[in-house]
Amino acid sequence: MVGDAGCMQRVAADGMLHLPASGTPLFAAPETKRKGAFSVKADLYSVGVLLTVCAAWHRQTGRVLGFLRGEAALPDFLPDELKDLVVRLVAVDPEQRLSAEEALRHPFLAAVDAGPLLPVRVDGTVPR
């Protein structure tokens, strides 16, 4: 899980959230700032912002905002596949934004060996 459990909301049967958005404004998808329902793709926008912060501009909110506003490009030291993933996650139009499934199949993440990231019990077994 990536997230703040204090901000969790239940998704309606139609796949939309019908409640006011909550959370840190920097990470909030544009559609959450307008009145009306929004989809779970808002969370993917937040993941894209989180990747941007972690990979490029930790503690540099101004640079992150510049990128999100289209005023700055991602730094050259980031791998092209990561840049592509981030750009597709922070698409302003939720219809153009990657879904969680699409993001996990993206070449940047598909190449990650998730095995070492799995939780392990003290006895060395993976919880089920």
- Give the number of domains in the chain: 1
**Full domain range(s) for residue 72:** 5-111
Residue with the bigger pLDDT between 91 and 4: it is 91
Sign for the pseudo-dihedral over CA of 114, 38, 32, 85: positive
Within a domain: residue 39?
Answer: yes
**CATH code: domain of residue 95:** 1.10.510.10
Residue with the bigger pLDDT between 123 and 104: it is 104
Q: What confidence score (pLDDT) does residue 12 get?
A: 67
Instruction: State pLDDT tens for residues 18-31.
Output: 566 667 888 889 99
CB 41 within 8 A of CB 99: yes
pTM of the model: 0.79
Within a domain: residue 118?
Answer: no
